[in-house]
Amino acid sequence: MKRFLISALVLLVAGWSIAATHDEDGSRLWLRADSVNTAAAITGVKGTAMAELQTFWQGGPVTLKRQKGLAKDGYTIKSQNGKTVIAAASDAGLLYGAYHLLRLQQTGQGIASLDISEQPFYDLRILNHWDNPNGTVERGFAGRSIFLNPDPARMKMYGRANASVGINGTVLNNVNAKPEVLSTESLQKSKEIADLLRPYGIRVYLSINFASPIRIGGLQTADPLNADVVRWWKDKVNEIYRIIPDFGGFLVKANSEGEPGPQDFGRTHADGANMLADVLKPHDGVVMWRAFVYKPQSSDRANQAYEEFMPLDGQFRDNVIIQVKNGPIDFQPREPYSPLFTAMQKTPMMVEFQLTQEYLGAANHLVYLAPMWQEFFSFVKPASLRAMAGVANIGDNINWCGHHFAQANWYAFGRTAWNPSLTPQDIAEEWLEQTFSLSATATNSPLSTLCSQLIHVMLASREACVNYMMPLGLHHIFAGSHHYGPEPWYSPRGVRADWTPPYYHKADSIGLGFNRTLSGSANVKQYPAELCSLYNDINTCPENLLTWFHHVPWDHRMSSGRTFWDELCLKYDDGVREARHFLTVWDALQPYVDCQRFGEVQRKLRIQARDAEWWRDACLLYFQTFSHRPIPQDVEHPVHNLDEMMKFRIPISMYENPESGYTK
Ligand code: GCW
């Protein structure tokens, strides 16, 4: 009997060890190949390319060749008879080619006869870090700033990760910029980081505070047309380039949310941006000037960026790029595209996406963002833009992004900026295979079926999040303090209206939504004529933007035949069901994923499913106090209680990820 027990135990242990692979903490991101060699110490960007290949490439000899006539940062890869040649016009191109080759190896693709030619769609593919000098990260959900005490090993991994997906610039600090960022001491710190990132083809940039000449320069004014101010900036910029010769330029948030700007001195955004552009020009630097502006007195926040920037179209220097968030309000789960993109025809523009999920469940929810960016690009032609920026979701958390699947958004950002026509599915597949060694391509195996389901989870995740948070065009009904959970009722006295949800949802006994039609705020007029008339009519407006543009009567008939109220209930419920389904798919993958990452993702998916219920119940019960209509029978009825939910608080600051969501 005893012997039987022992052998059963041995079998059990053996069985377990077959199933489980060794634990991983996610710190290697998608670059998990084991080294096959130790690389010789070589410097420069080409040196990095050689070192990466020496360390990880398992195939035949590879030659790196500089060749004129190829596009900037582009490359070709050709292989024959076991030999491979990567050719590029620049060292950065060679590095990108090397990573391409390694990606093919890591995703198990044929490398015998390659004939590849690539070039990046955008010259500037840049991350924006919202990191503060004290180490906090605004809307950062993955720990503290990686730049506070830059650890060379961590910086090396950061450089590799970015270069492997083609990211070639990084703004080191928050757009809510402290003037001290430009102190000589702080510039020396930025230089350290620039030195560590240069071998990966990454230039550093800084966000600046427009009042710096006053705050650290001792001047009385920061008026961009004042000669002393111009001289101050000129000297400062010269100093920067002495310290960091390949410095990229400035990112500026001006006259927005309390930040100083040229309007404080009676000047325009163009006056401010052009002054900085002129002093950066001799150094080949750029100004990325943000259009994220809104004032409490306007009747529609969605109108404002257009109102302020359109009159300035064509007035900016050629090294100014206007950086516009994808939507007109603020990184909501779904917004129409910002109308500035199609209206400003004479000004270089770039899009700012947000990788950190400020409004999409922070680092607790699996929300793969590539489908959202694809939706954006279906309205705004990629070629109409100069560059692409992504607000980083990176911190000192061991797995970098707080959620293993949030790494996919960093990865997808780089790949999309390299080539906006890559499909979200292609990107998800290559990320998943590299990150989890999960491939959907092996046919007819149970694993490949599960992998396909997981890819589907990623692709469906953004829409699911829209559904359980704010379907049918709803927006900005988040908790006032943390933007994580629902608080559609939040409207304390004294808080400016456009920082409270009722400003956006306008629920009343008639219906729900913001009238932005010609009879309302006329926001529709900012779109091209065709879209204007499409959005203006409640019967042609896409239903996924219905309450964005219309105050929709509760009994409005939807294309499904349901009333608007019933449809709203159904959408919320769909979102909940989907979130639960994500967990089911993931659970089935347990035998194929290392225990640590499996458990960590599972824990997050459980939070997500619970949060989805929280969102549905809070929103439906609250809106029901206006609609006075029953929740349809075929929709799961709320399992929570509105009064309790209205009292529930998550005591976090804007620098933290909520440990768990709704815990009642
Ligand atoms: O999304 C909002 C955030 C702020 C942020 C601001 C911006 C950096 O809530 O935290 O500030 O947008 O983009 O400037």
Position in ligand 1 atom list of the atom nearest CA 352: 13
Which has the closest alpha carbon to 331: 389, 261, 402? 389
The type of residue at 124 is L
* Atom 13, ligand 1: residue with shortest CA distance: 292
Residue 14 has pLDDT above 80, yes or no: no
Pick the catalytic residue from 300, 358, 375, 498. 358
Position in ligand 1 atom list of the atom nearest CA 138: 10
Phi then psi for 553, rounded to 5 degrees? -60, 145
Residue 11 has pLDDT above 60, yes or no: no
Residue 298 has pLDDT above 90, yes or no: no
- Alpha-carbon distance of 414 to 426, in angstroms, equals 13
Q: Are 497 and 480 in contact (CB under 8 A)?
A: no
* Atom 11, ligand 1: residue with shortest CA distance: 176
Which has the closest alpha carbon to 160: 350, 33, 23? 33
Pairing of strands 75-80, 115-118: antiparallel
Tokens 């100014």 belong to residue: 320
Position in ligand 1 atom list of the atom nearest CA 175: 8
For residue 644, indicate whether it is catalytic.
no
Tens-place pLDDT, residues 118-148? 999 999 999 999 999 999 999 999 999 999 9
For 583, the 3-state DSSP assignment is helix
Probe ligand 1: pick from 171, 176, 294, max atoms within 8 Å of CB?
176
The residue with greater pLDDT, 110 or 232, is 232
Distance 489 CA to ligand 1 centre (A): 22
Q: Which two tokens stand for residue 160?
A: 């590799």
What is the model's pLDDT at position 120? Answer: 98
For 323, the 3-state DSSP assignment is strand
Tens-place pLDDT, residues 330-355? 999 999 999 999 999 999 999 999 99
Residue 409 CA, chain-centre distance (Å), reads: 6
Residue 330 CA, chain-centre distance (Å), reads: 12
Q: Are 277 and 319 in contact (CB under 8 A)?
A: yes
Tens-place pLDDT, residues 520-529? 999 999 999 9
- Alpha-carbon distance of 189 to 473, in angstroms, equals 44
Position in ligand 1 atom list of the atom nearest CA 331: 1
Probe ligand 1: pick from 292, 335, 360, max atoms within 8 Å of CB?
292
For 295, the 3-state DSSP assignment is coil
Phi then psi for 357, rounded to 5 degrees? -90, 65
* Atom 2, ligand 1: residue with shortest CA distance: 330
Ramachandran category for residue 484: left, alpha or beta (phi over 0 → left; psi -120 to 50 → alpha): alpha
For residue 246, indicate whether it is catalytic.
no
Distance 88 CA to ligand 1 centre (A): 39
Q: Which two tokens stand for residue 175?
A: 């757009």
- Alpha-carbon distance of 456 to 184, in angstroms, equals 50
Distance 167 CA to ligand 1 centre (A): 22
Over the chain, what is the mean pLDDT?
95
- Alpha-carbon distance of 544 to 513, in angstroms, equals 12
What's the rounded mean pLDDT across residues 556-575?
Answer: 98
For residue 330, indicate whether it is catalytic.
yes
What is the model's pLDDT at position 439? Answer: 85
- Alpha-carbon distance of 123 to 345, in angstroms, equals 20
* Atom 12, ligand 1: residue with shortest CA distance: 330
What is the model's pLDDT at position 5? Answer: 40
What is the model's pLDDT at position 445? Answer: 84
Distance 130 CA to ligand 1 centre (A): 9
Q: Which two tokens stand for residue 95?
A: 């590095």
Pick the catalytic residue from 131, 271, 308, 330. 330
Q: Are 289 and 321 in contact (CB under 8 A)?
A: yes
Q: Are 620 and 503 in contact (CB under 8 A)?
A: no
Q: Are 350 and 385 in contact (CB under 8 A)?
A: yes
Position in ligand 1 atom list of the atom nearest CA 130: 8
Residue 4 has pLDDT above 60, yes or no: no
For the chain, the 3-state helix, strand and coil shares in percent, each to the nearest 5, are 45, 10, 45
Residue 481's pLDDT band (boundaries 50, 70, 90)? confident
Tens-place pLDDT, residues 607-656? 999 999 999 999 999 999 999 999 999 999 999 999 999 999 999 999 99
Percent pLDDT > 90 in the chain is: 92
CA-CA-CA-CA torsion for 43, 45, 47, 51, nearest 10 degrees?
120
Position in ligand 1 atom list of the atom nearest CA 139: 10
Which has the closest alpha carbon to 485: 357, 368, 649? 649
Distance 330 CA to ligand 1 centre (A): 8
Roughly how many angstroms between the first and final C-alpha of the chain, as a whole number? 48
Tens-place pLDDT, residues 488-536? 999 999 999 999 999 999 999 999 999 999 999 999 999 999 999 999 9
What is the model's pLDDT at position 480? Answer: 87
Probe ligand 1: pick from 330, 356, 475, 655, max atoms within 8 Å of CB?
330
- Alpha-carbon distance of 98 to 92, in angstroms, equals 10
What's the rounded mean pLDDT across residues 284-299?
Answer: 92
Residue 42's pLDDT band (boundaries 50, 70, 90)? confident
Residue 446's pLDDT band (boundaries 50, 70, 90)? confident
What is the model's pLDDT at position 19? Answer: 45
Distance 621 CA to ligand 1 centre (A): 29
Pick the catalytic residue from 23, 239, 257, 644. 257
Tens-place pLDDT, residues 79-116? 999 999 999 999 999 999 999 999 999 999 988 899 99
Distance 257 CA to ligand 1 centre (A): 8
Pairing of strands 75-80, 62-66: unpaired
Residue 299's pLDDT band (boundaries 50, 70, 90)? confident
Give the number of other Cβ atoms within 10 Å of residue 277's Cβ. 22
Percent pLDDT > 70 in the chain is: 96
Probe ligand 1: pick from 132, 139, 481, max atoms within 8 Å of CB?
139
Ligand 1 is surrounded, with C-beta below 6 A, by 130, 138-139, 174-176, 253, 257, 292, 330-331, 358, 654
Which has the closest alpha carbon to 118: 101, 139, 143, 137? 101
DSSP E strands, 360-518 = 387-391, 511-512
What's the rounded mean pLDDT across residues 561-576?
Answer: 98
